[in-house]
Amino acid sequence: MVEAFLLLLFPATMAYAASSDLLTMKIPNQLTLGIAIAYIATALIIKAPAAVIGLHLACGALVLAVTFGMFCMGWMGGGDAKLAAATALWFGWSMVLEYLLLASVLGGALTLAILFARQFPLPGTLIRYDWITRLHDRKTGIPYGIALAAAALILYPHTDVWTATLRIAQ
């Protein structure tokens, strides 16, 4: 039962992050903090060595430093920067580049799709939904948390955390 909870915790938080970014263009700080704390708790439960946990924390810290710089340059939102860093904890050095590359590709596709959709007027039936009009507004950014979460969900079954949790379940 604990193993099932651990296996579903990360995907559930990623789905929430993506939907929050889509609907509000915000990723709550409590969520990204919860994702980080959930990694540490999960790593302790699966008995990951302290050195491995430390390396994952270092990976997350580096991703936070880089994405914070990107935020300062206006290239990404603050919530996206924090989400990328918290998510990097779950992937560690062995998968962080794969994660960031996949998130970039998905984010590029998402950006192109939204920019394309913004070229056309919204149908009248959609104007009554605030989140759709906000997403359609050319002055609004791109909810990049969707791409970050999608990449995380695609790669999560290939992580050491997933493998170790399955091993405990057997």
Average pLDDT for runs of 10 along the chain of length 170: 84 97 96 96 94 98 97 95 98 97 98 96 91 93 97 97 85
Task: Tell me what pLDDT residue 77 has.
Answer: 94
Q: What is the spatial distance between Cα 70 and Cα 118, in angstroms, rounded to a whole number? A: 25
pTM of the model: 0.94
Phi and psi for 101 in degrees, rounded to 5? -65, -45
* pLDDT of res. 81: 97
pLDDT at 166: 83
Per-residue confidence (pLDDT) for residue 47, from 0 to 100: 93
Longest dimension (CA), the chain: 56
**Please, where are the H alpha helices in the chain?**
2-24, 29-45, 50-72, 78-117, 130-136, 145-155, 160-169
Q: According to the model, what pLDDT value does residue 168 have?
A: 82
User: For the chain, how big is the Rg over CA atoms in Å?
Assistant: 17
Q: Could you tell me which residues come within 8 angstroms of residue 11 by beta carbon, excluding any fewer than 6 positions away?
A: 153, 156
In the prediction, which pLDDT does 4 show? 81
